[in-house]
Amino acid sequence: MAKAAAKKTAAAASPSVERRPALAGRSTAATGAKVEVLPPADRISLRAPEASIAALSKALGVTLPKKPKTSATKAGRTALWLGPDEWLVIDEAGNDPLTDCAAVSALHSAVGISHRNIAIAVTGAGAAATINAGCPQDLSLDAFPVGAASRTILGKAEIVLLRNAPDAFRVECWRSFSDYVFTFLSEGSRDAAV
Amino acid sequence: MSGAFRIPSAGRLKQAKTARFSFDGQSYAGIEGDTLASALLANGVHLVGRSFKYHRPRGILSAGAEEPNALVEIKRDAARKTPNVRATVQELYDGLAAQSQNRWPSLSFDVGAVNDLASPLFSAGFYYKTFMWPKAAWKSLYEPKIRAAAGLGVSPDQPDPDHYSSRYAHCDVLVLGGGAAGIAAALAAAETGVRVILADEQAEFGGSLRFETGARIDGQDGFAWAQAAIARLQGMDNVRVLSRTTAFGYYAQNFVGLVERISDHLSAPGHDLPRERLWQVRAKRVVLASGAIERHMVFADNDRPGIMLAGAARTYLNHYGVAVGKNVGVYTANDSAYAAAIDLKKAGVNVAAIVDLRDHPTGPVIDEARALGIEVNFGRAVIRAGGKLRVSSMTVQPKNGGGERTIPVDAILMSAGWTPSVHLFSQSRGKVAFNDETKRFVPGTYAQDCASVGACNGTDGLSATIDEAYAAGEKAAKDADAKTAKGNKPKVDASESWSRGMLGAAPGAGPDTTVKAFVDFQNDVTAKDIRQAVHEGMRSIEHVKRFTTNGMATDQGKTSNMHGLAIAAETLGKPIPEVGLTTFRAPYTPVTFGAIVSHARGPLFDPTRKTAIHRWAEAQGAVFEDVGQWKRAWYFPKAGDDMHAAVDRECVAVRKTAGLFDASTLGKIEVVGPDAAKFMELLYTNPWEKLEPGRCRYGIMLREDGFIYDDGVVGRLAPDRFHVTTTTGGAPRVMNHMEDYLQTEFPHLNVWLTSITEQWAVIAVQGPKSRDIIAPLVEGIDMSDEALPHMSVREGKICGVPTRLFRMSFTGERGFEVNVPADYGQAVWEALWAEGQKHGAAAYGTEAMHVLRAEKGYIIVGQDTDGTVTPNDAGLDWAVGKKKADFVGIRGMARPDLVAKGRKQLVGLKTKDPKVVLEEGAQIVEDPKQAIPMKMIGHVTSSYWSENCGRSIALALVAGGRDRMGDTLYVPMPNGVIEVEVSGMVFFDETGGRLNG
């Protein structure tokens, strides 16, 4: 069902204009943590009932997680559980997941949001403390282990949080909130050595 | 030299580390580790402030957070002035500069002290009774004067240059209070391996072990044991130890707010250090170990500098090595003050006499005091204190009357007993219970997963405290799912113990005389005031509190509440529990605004949302307006343009050639699924099932009540896929509204909603030349009118990037909205701009957009509608599917009021003088000669100068408006009445031919 939309947006011929991502290249480093904007990635918002999960997993090449606050990664593609019928699929290998979903006939909704979101990496011993400056989640490794993912808040902005490693997080937010989120994380990192 | 009253053999501070400081311009020397209070006392300074109402000289009452008197201003620089700092809490640093408050011209000679003589005027509730007439004078004269005369510190008047940090944290066991009980509980919990946070407001842990010389734990002096235990806890990975950290608020589900003071005690705080850090902690279990606070004795002139709590005097001696006087008197109703007398006596200070209100007390401390040669008097009261700027004597009388005897002293140590600190317990919604035997409120019924241990629980004696606290720590850890691991309970070898005491006024407090026997020092409330409140009819302690302001100062009555309650109960002739206790509220001690605001200031006050094209507009000199959190280009002035000139030029350009407009902020929702059309049918008034893919429709969304909620153009991309647009401001709530109905009313539909507002940058290209501008850049889309008629949508490429190209118009001109992935927004805009320049196109902002759409009578939801406007009112009946059986709002629309005659309807207004532009919001009347208040029949919703029409234009909601076409109505304004004619809403190109022009 995503066919109609996907067919035309998928094939990327060479654009005659340059891509200018928000905040491109911004980074800051404090004693406890480093905050840096990540390169663009392909993303979809995937919605589907239980019955479609197997077919979609097969098409995407990554098993869609069914457990709350979890994610699954394979070959540069990560599926984050956001709700009982909702996943954020991020592809950092240059393969648009929208194209893969277009071939699936099982009931689902796949919407391209590659440009909607911006990703910011927070790394270092104080990474969790940096995020906890404005995010009320328990980021201990027991409660939020490597691979854990959650749609949550940072200050006054909504974010999606993914833990890549004990000391490394990926923070996704909407494009126009990225300046706020980046600035907030930079402020948080100043106090993350504690 | 760190002060004449420093006793080298006493205390724990290292004499070598001198810290210089000043108070009211006078320089002094203290020692690192001192508080400002201990350093002042070491230099013999007791007079530190003036009281709130009567401007009475005040000294230092306590050695902790409960201090009501010793409030000073600390000034680091012009912007860093902190008023009302408790000298007993402020740690000394080299270079500290403090000023006294609420006095003029000087602390020792204060003109405001005339209030003390005039005190009959200022008795309890005076502001409710006096200054009532004339009424106007309250606002202009009385209130400002009273506020200026009564008060404490002065607020800083410059922006705060410090920064503040915040941190959310989770733990299994949160221990609040780091005295013996808190440490024992933390040890017990920490040894099981669970996550523990231990917080204490003091710089050093230990609580009352700071002054209790008689405590020995695990073979060590009590205080040394505390330090060793803290060092052990700090070394454990699962424990976070927070000193200088006050738990100020206990909220729902074990959510506790704490403030950690990070740099206020430092001489030169590093630039990057926050001043304070706000901790918001969610704990599985909370252990409250908040201790107890000593009460003063209520007798005449008990507020003279030099009169202080016995435990405080003992702290100053045993921790800071400072004697609070050379010849001290003691006035007590319990054993604890004896220990202070004994310690001072042993340190070489003369103890003139101990006056004990009790008749026949016995015990080892009394024997010891006597053995040291201290005069001990039972059954006697101190009925007044002598001296003004410093206490000089105490007058003693048998408590049932008899001969007076005046004893010269330079300090009086007093103790009426100890009040358990149940503040946090009470904030947790726990109910306190009154123990009649010990005359104190202790935790009764718990509302949350917490436990109280030690003095705050009414547990007396160190041994019992540690037993209780250790068990509570173990249990809290177990309840928080601890794996079993066992530590060793600290063993108490020796301890001090006391309890009891008295509540209320002692004989020296009246009754009903003119004496000032203070109950609440900070708000200047005396025993007499409380009795007066009862005599004037206050029965509930809540009323007594508000009438007298007892306990309502920033110290929240930590020393005064129980005395005030006891006096009220006695005057009412009721037992204390029947009079009740007032509710404790957060914060426990004052919290800075900085800590509460934390990061949310400056650029982080609120997100500022900018479009992908923002930087281009900025470079062009656009003026921006705020639309919700968005910054939108308002207009693009050229050199010398004012706003009107710019808007006129932009409006003319669009109709003459073309204009480019950044419409990226419009809300966009992708509705996908086999039931997408069914869902759209239910959410919008319009029919959707028959809309062909590739076509668009203007949709109206109602609330259940039948009023317009939002509108926008919707394109059908595929049978199962709609691209919905919403208003900019409505985007989040429309998404919520749709999601809400989908989940609660229509869960059977197979359809999903995804916000794509930020996926697509949107460039509106409008005007007769719009197609010529776009066409050269587009691939794969036939741009002819036949292939791409008005109100259609195609997917293809522009500048080699994917686009959803809408042919639609919010100007009445041939128009397009080019959607491109946001990161390409600016580059595609620049390409279109370059094409546009060949045709003389202009960039236009939101103001021109508003004018252009008003010329065509297109409404803006939220401007021309206000939540009480139906589609019919707005002239949009054509957009309501007449054959539809159901949609949100269909029943609301049929309500009698909504179909009644005479409803306000949206119409056009033309001023008789075309040059006059109406004011938006102006009221409309039928007859301008009628008496005021006139009957208003409507108001102006939109009004502009239209350069294209060569006249002003306006839209208005007018009662029965569509039946008034051609009628003359009136808009009364301060400078005269404006005549207007009711017209249709379309002012330009009534036939709509230009859509294909």
For the segment B803-823, what is each residue's pLDDT rounded down to a tens digit?
999 999 999 999 999 999 999
**Judgement on whether residues B209 and B71 belong to the same structural domain of the protein:** no
**Judgement on whether residues B437 and B488 belong to the same structural domain of the protein:** yes
Enumerate residues 5 to 34 of chain A having a beta carbon within 8 A of any beta carbon in chain B.
5, 8-9, 12-22
CA dist., res. B875 & res. B983, Å (int): 13
- Please report the pLDDT score of residue B483 as a whole number: 76
Residue corresponding to tokens 């040059």: B915
Backbone angles phi, psi at B813, to 5 degrees: -95, 165
The model's pTM: 0.94
**Judgement on whether residues B445 and B529 belong to the same structural domain of the protein:** no
Answer whether residue B126 shows pLDDT above 80: no
Tell me the chain A residues in contact with residue B604 when contact means C-beta distances shorter than 8 Å. 155, 180, 183-184, 187
Residue B148 pLDDT class (50, 70, 90 cuts): low
Which run of H or of E encompasses A31? none
Tell me the chain B residues in contact with residue A15 when contact means C-beta distances shorter than 8 Å. 799-801, 824
Per the CB < 8 Å rule, is B168 touching A135? yes
Q: What average pLDDT does chain B have?
A: 94
The partner residue sitting opposite A109, judged by closest CB among B280, B612, B673, is B673
Tell me the chain B residues in contact with residue A49 when contact means C-beta distances shorter than 8 Å. 750
For the stretch B525-550, pLDDT in tens is 999 999 999 999 999 999 999 999 99
CATH of the domain at B935: 2.40.30.110
**Judgement on whether residues B251 and B193 belong to the same structural domain of the protein:** yes
Answer whether residue A2 shows pLDDT above 50: no
Per the CB < 8 Å rule, is A5 touching B795? yes
The partner residue sitting opposite B758, judged by closest CB among A116, A129, A184, is A116
**Judgement on whether residues B173 and B288 belong to the same structural domain of the protein:** yes
* Residue of chain A whose Cα is closest to the Cα of B694: A4
Domain boundary among B532, B553, B573: B573
For residue B593, count other CB atoms closer than 10 A to its CB.
10
Backbone angles phi, psi at B414, to 5 degrees: -130, 150
User: Chain A contact for B596, CB < 8 A?
Assistant: no
Tell me the chain A residues in contact with residue B718 when contact means C-beta distances shorter than 8 Å. 1, 3-5
CA dist., res. B52 & res. B523, Å (int): 6
CA dist., res. B342 & res. B915, Å (int): 93
- Please report the pLDDT score of residue A7 as a whole number: 39
Domain boundary among B115, B150, B183: B115
Cβ within 8 Å of residue A82, ≥6 positions away: A88, A149, A151, A160
Answer whether residue A37 shows pLDDT above 70: yes
From the CA atom positions of chain B, what is the Rg in Å? 38
**Judgement on whether residues B484 and B557 belong to the same structural domain of the protein:** no
Per the CB < 8 Å rule, is B673 touching A176? no
Residue B481 pLDDT class (50, 70, 90 cuts): confident
**Judgement on whether residues B447 and B517 belong to the same structural domain of the protein:** no
- Please report the pLDDT score of residue B111 as a whole number: 82
Least confident of A6-20, B237-251, B277-291: A6-20
Answer whether residue B127 shows pLDDT above 80: no
* Residue of chain A whose Cα is closest to the Cα of B271: A190
CA dist., res. B503 & res. B211, Å (int): 24
Q: How far is A156 from chain B (nearest CA, A)?
A: 7
Asked if residue B534 is part of any domain, the answer here is yes
**Judgement on whether residues B474 and B522 belong to the same structural domain of the protein:** no
Tell me the chain B residues in contact with residue A2 when contact means C-beta distances shorter than 8 Å. 672, 721
Least confident of B164-168, B513-517, B611-615, B675-679: B513-517
* Interval B640-664 mean pLDDT: 97
Answer whether residue B736 shows pLDDT above 80: yes
Full set of structural domains in chain A with CATH: 29-190 (3.30.1360.120)
User: Is B798:B828 a contact under the CB 8 Å cutoff?
Assistant: yes
Answer whether residue B577 shows pLDDT above 50: yes
User: Chain A contact for B603, CB < 8 A?
Assistant: yes
Answer whether residue B366 shows pLDDT above 50: yes
- Please report the pLDDT score of residue B512 as a whole number: 62
Size of interface A-B (CB pairs under 8 A): 169
Asked if residue B923 is part of any domain, the answer here is yes
Residue type, B624: F
CATH of the domain at B520: 1.10.10
B364-371 vs B336-346: helix crossing angle, rounded to 10? 30
* Interval B14-19 mean pLDDT: 86
Please give the full DSSP string across B58-109, using - where no structure is assigned.
Answer: E----SSTT-SS-EEEEESSSS-EEEEEETTTSBP-TTEEEE--S-SB-SSS
Residue A176 pLDDT class (50, 70, 90 cuts): very high
Asked if residue B58 is part of any domain, the answer here is yes
CA dist., res. B62 & res. B70, Å (int): 9
Tell me the chain A residues in contact with residue B828 when contact means C-beta distances shorter than 8 Å. 17
- Please report the pLDDT score of residue A5 as a whole number: 41
Q: How far is A36 from chain B (nearest CA, A)?
A: 18
CA dist., res. B47 & res. B388, Å (int): 10
CATH of the domain at B95: 3.10.20.440
Answer whether residue B379 shows pLDDT above 80: yes
For residue B408, count other CB atoms closer than 10 A to its CB.
13
E strands, B265-420, in order: 276-288, 292-295, 307-309, 327-332, 350-356, 376-378, 380-386, 393-398, 405-408, 411-415, 417-420
- Please report the pLDDT score of residue B102 as a whole number: 84
Tell me the chain B residues in contact with residue A4 when contact means C-beta distances shorter than 8 Å. 693, 717-721
Q: What is the dihedral of CA B363, B368, B373, B379, to 10 degrees?
A: -20
**Judgement on whether residues B91 and B177 belong to the same structural domain of the protein:** no
**Judgement on whether residues B517 and B564 belong to the same structural domain of the protein:** yes
* Interval B194-204 mean pLDDT: 97
Q: Give me the number of domains chain B comprises.
A: 4
Q: How far is B608 from chain A (nearest CA, A)?
A: 7
Asked if residue B844 is part of any domain, the answer here is no
Residue B508 pLDDT class (50, 70, 90 cuts): confident
Answer whether residue B562 shows pLDDT above 80: yes
- Please report the pLDDT score of residue A3 as a whole number: 41
Of A68 and B17, the structure prediction assigns the larger pLDDT to: A68
CA dist., res. B781 & res. B769, Å (int): 18
CA dist., res. B384 & res. B714, Å (int): 84
Per the CB < 8 Å rule, is A176 touching B167? no
**Judgement on whether residues B93 and B237 belong to the same structural domain of the protein:** no
Answer whether residue B740 shows pLDDT above 60: yes
The partner residue sitting opposite B759, judged by closest CB among A8, A115, A137, is A115
- Please report the pLDDT score of residue A4 as a whole number: 42
B892 HSE (CA, 13 A, CB side): 19
* Interval B202-208 mean pLDDT: 97
* Interval B91-112 mean pLDDT: 90
- Please report the pLDDT score of residue B521 as a whole number: 96
User: Is B73:B24 a contact under the CB 8 Å cutoff?
Assistant: no
Per the CB < 8 Å rule, is A184 touching B599? yes
* Interval B924-932 mean pLDDT: 95
Domain boundary among B459, B494, B529: B494
Asked if residue B131 is part of any domain, the answer here is no
Residue B513 pLDDT class (50, 70, 90 cuts): low
Per the CB < 8 Å rule, is B272 touching A190? yes
Three-state DSSP class for residue B569: helix
Asked if residue B433 is part of any domain, the answer here is yes
Q: Containing domain of residue B549, as a range?
A: 510-573
Tokens matching residue B916:
């006059």
Asked if residue B126 is part of any domain, the answer here is no
The partner residue sitting opposite B674, judged by closest CB among A1, A135, A140, is A1
**Judgement on whether residues B277 and B203 belong to the same structural domain of the protein:** yes
Answer whether residue B151 shows pLDDT above 70: no
- Please report the pLDDT score of residue B822 as a whole number: 98
CA dist., res. B444 & res. B580, Å (int): 14
Answer whether residue B322 shows pLDDT above 70: yes
Per the CB < 8 Å rule, is A133 touching B599? yes
Asked if residue B57 is part of any domain, the answer here is yes
Per the CB < 8 Å rule, is A107 touching B750? yes
Which run of H or of E encompasses B980? strand B976-983
Answer whether residue B288 shows pLDDT above 50: yes
Report the share of chain A in percent with pLDDT over 70. 93
Residue A8 pLDDT class (50, 70, 90 cuts): very low
- Please report the pLDDT score of residue B146 as a whole number: 67
Q: A138: buried, middle or exposed (CB in 10 Å: 19+, 13-18, 0-12)?
A: middle
